[in-house]
Amino acid sequence: MAQVRGLLDPFDTALAAGVTALAVLDAVVGPSEPTALDYALLLMGSLVLAFRNRSPRTVLAISLVCGLVYTASVEPGPIATVPVLVAVYTVTAVGHRVLALAVTAPLVVFAVATNLADTEDGMAAGQAIQEAILPVGWFVAVLVLGEVTRHRRAYLEQARERAAEAERTREEAALRRAGQERLRIARELHDSLTHQISIIKVQADVAVHLARKRGEDVPDALVAVQDASREATRELRATLEVLRTDDEDTGTGLARLDHLVRRAGVPATVAVEGEPQALPRDVDQAAYRIVQEALTNVARHAGEATATVTIGYSAHELTVRVDDDGAARPGAAPVPGVGLIGMRERVTALGGRLRAEPRPEGGFTVEAVFPARERV
C-alpha cells in the first residue's frame, strides 16, 4: 500500500475522487437505474484518472472503454463524459496529439449523430442542432486546453534550460577571469620578486664561496641569508607553479601524484591501499593539493626527514595521509599556520574531515578523508 501511495500524485488522486463523486451522483439522480455492473464501470473509468500522468494512454483506453460500455447500458447524463474528457486533455498535454484526435473525432461524430437521432418529434431545429453541437464544444475545448498546457510546459522547460545555461556561462566567465588574474599575479611575481631573490641568492653564494676559498670562517648571518634565499626561491617556484596551473586540466589530480612526489624536495614514497577508482574532479584535485601542501610543510619544517604518502580507496571514501619522521615532538600541538588552515577549509568544503597532529613515534601526520562519490 505504501508503494502504491508513492506512485500517486496527490492532485491526480483528488481529481479522480472528485470526478468519481460527480459521476456517481449524476448516475443516482439520473432517469436511468444503473446496475451494479454499471456502477463498477463508472467507478473504474473515473478512479483510473489517479494514474493519468503516469500512464496517460492506458488511462484514456480504460476510461473510453468503460464510458462506451456504460453509455450502451444506461442513458447517461453529461457528467458521465467527464472522465474521458480529462483523459483526452491529459494525452494532449503530454504530446500525444495524434492519439487524442484519433479518439476525439469518432466520439464527436457519434455524439452528434446520437443527439440528432434522439431529438423528440416537433423540437425546433435550432435547439436540436444546439444540443448536437454541444459535445463538439466540450471535446474541442479540452483539446485546445491540453495544447495550451503542452506549450506552457515546453516554454517553462526552455526557460529553465536558458537559466541553467546562463548560470554555466557566468561560472565559466568567472573561472576565466580567475585564471587570468592568477596568470597576471604569476607574471608580476616572476618579473619582480623572482629576480630580486635570485640576485640575493647569487650574491650570497659568491660571498660564501670566496670566504671558503680564502680559508676564512663564513659568518653565520651570511649562511642564514644563503639558506633563506634558497628556500625562498624554492617556495616561490612552487607558488608560481600553483598559480599557473589550470584546475580544468590534468595538471592537478592523483594521476600526477608520482610527478609531484619527485619534485617535492624531500625523500618520499607512495603507497596505495584498496582498488583505485574514478573520483569526482573536485575531490581528485583537493587530494592532490593536500599532498602538495603537506610535502611542502615537511620540506619547510621537518628538517632532514622522509615522508610516506598513502592513498586509501574504499567504497565511499578516499583517504589521503602524509606521514613524516621529522622533528615534530609527540604531544606537541600543531601551529595553526596558513597551510593547515587552507587544507582544513579545502577538505571541509567537500564534506570531508582533516586530522593534522604529531605522531606518537615522532614526526607529523596529515590525514584527509573525502567522500568518494558525487554529492546530490
10-residue block means of pLDDT along the chain (376 residues)?
56 89 84 84 90 90 89 78 90 89 83 64 57 76 89 88 80 76 76 76 83 83 80 75 58 80 84 90 89 84 84 92 80 62 86 89 90 65
Separation between Cα atoms, residue 106 and residue 110, nearest integer Å: 6
Provide the residue range defining the domain that includes 336.
250-376
190, part of any domain: no
224, part of any domain: no
> What is the reported pLDDT for 4?
44
> What is the reported pLDDT for 272?
93
Same domain, 151 and 259: no
Number of structural domains, the chain? Answer: 2
* Residue listed under C-alpha cell 651570511: 222
Cβ–Cβ contacts within 10 Å for residue 4, how many?
A: 8
Same domain, 6 and 154: yes
> What is the reported pLDDT for 303?
72
Same domain, 149 and 264: no
209, part of any domain: no
H or E element: which one contains 3? helix 2-7
Q: Which of 160, 193, 219 is the last residue of a domain?
A: 160
Q: Which of 108, 127, 160 is the last residue of a domain?
A: 160
Same domain, 154 and 268: no
189, part of any domain: no
Same domain, 16 and 141: yes
158: amino acid identity, one letter: Q
Q: Which of 160, 187, 221 is the last residue of a domain?
A: 160
CB distance 320 to 290 below 8 Å: yes
Contacts of 247 (CB under 8 A, 6+ apart): 285
109, part of any domain: yes
260, part of any domain: yes
296, part of any domain: yes
* Residue listed under C-alpha cell 639558506: 227
366, part of any domain: yes
Confidence (pTM): 0.48
